[in-house]
A and B are shown apart, each in its own frame.
Chain A
Amino acid sequence: SQTIHQWPATLVQPVGSPLSLECTVEGTSNPNLYWYRQAAGRGLQLLFYSVGIGQISSEVPQNLSASRPQDRQFILSSKKLLLSDSGFYLCAWRGGTSTDTQYFGPGTRLTVL
């Protein structure tokens, strides 16, 4: 069966510090991968998605970036965090066929102080 991992589970970072969040998927190959952010009490905002290694689509212009160095690894990064980057970051994966649904990882709760 497929499993999705995210780490760390929680993170507290000062403003201006760098960020690296990692997501890995097991039990499937060539998944579509997604990064979402959820501000406190708000909805799910799509940040990036990838349909293959090295292929990244950005949805929202901001100080974040994403990379997919391996088939089942998706990384979210920032060089300098802003207060507004605080939130719940969710990685998700989806199979390659059009009828597949999307499954979320456990999430990383980021607080920028």
Chain B
Amino acid sequence: QQPVQSPQAVILREGEDAVINCSSSKALYSVHWYRQKHGEAPVFLMILLKGGEQKGHDKISASFNEKKQQSSLYLTASQLSYSGTYFCGTETYDTDKLIFGTGTRLQVFP
């Protein structure tokens, strides 16, 4: 079952923050976050496995709630290079495949 991402699109100025959410109706085994630039393949950002986990590098971080049905991606002090479409890929306990959300298009302007 496809996870729901929100918002569908975000427009930012450099230095502003954004939050992208990914929700599932089922408990998830893991959540994987990717960023895709136009015309390119998605690039892996991070994976979350444990309820309550928070993870990050540089100014991009993510959390996985205790019930393991929602994850959020946090982008702080956005840079032009953050522009792209962000996808969450979710995995349930009964499968070994990732199902991706509909994506969130992020545009950062100077």
Contact = CB atoms under 8 A, between A and B. Distances in A.
9 contacts: A43-B100, A44-B87, A44-B89, A51-B96, A98-B29, A99-B49, A101-B32, A101-B47, A105-B41
Interface of A: 32, 34, 36, 42-44, 46, 49, 51, 57, 59, 90, 94, 98-99, 101-107
B41 A107 contact: yes
B98 interface: yes
Say whether chain A's binding surface is mostly helix, strand, loop, or mixed: strand
B42 A104 contact: yes
Of A34, A43, A57, A99, most buried by chain B (CB within 10 Å of CB) is A43
A91 to B, nearest CB: 9
A42 B89 CA distance: 15
Which of B42, B43, B99 has the largest number of chain A CB atoms within 10 A? B42
A43 B102 contact: yes
B6 to A, nearest CB: 14
B101 A43 contact: yes
A104 B40 CA distance: 10
Contacts of B99: 46
Given A32-B96, A51-B96, A102 B32 contact: yes
B109 interface: no
Contacts of B42: 44, 90, 104
Interface in B74-110: 87, 89, 96-103
Contacts of B43: 104
Contacts of B87: 43-44
A104 B32 contact: no
Contacts of A99: 30, 47, 49
A101 B97 contact: no
A104 B97 contact: no
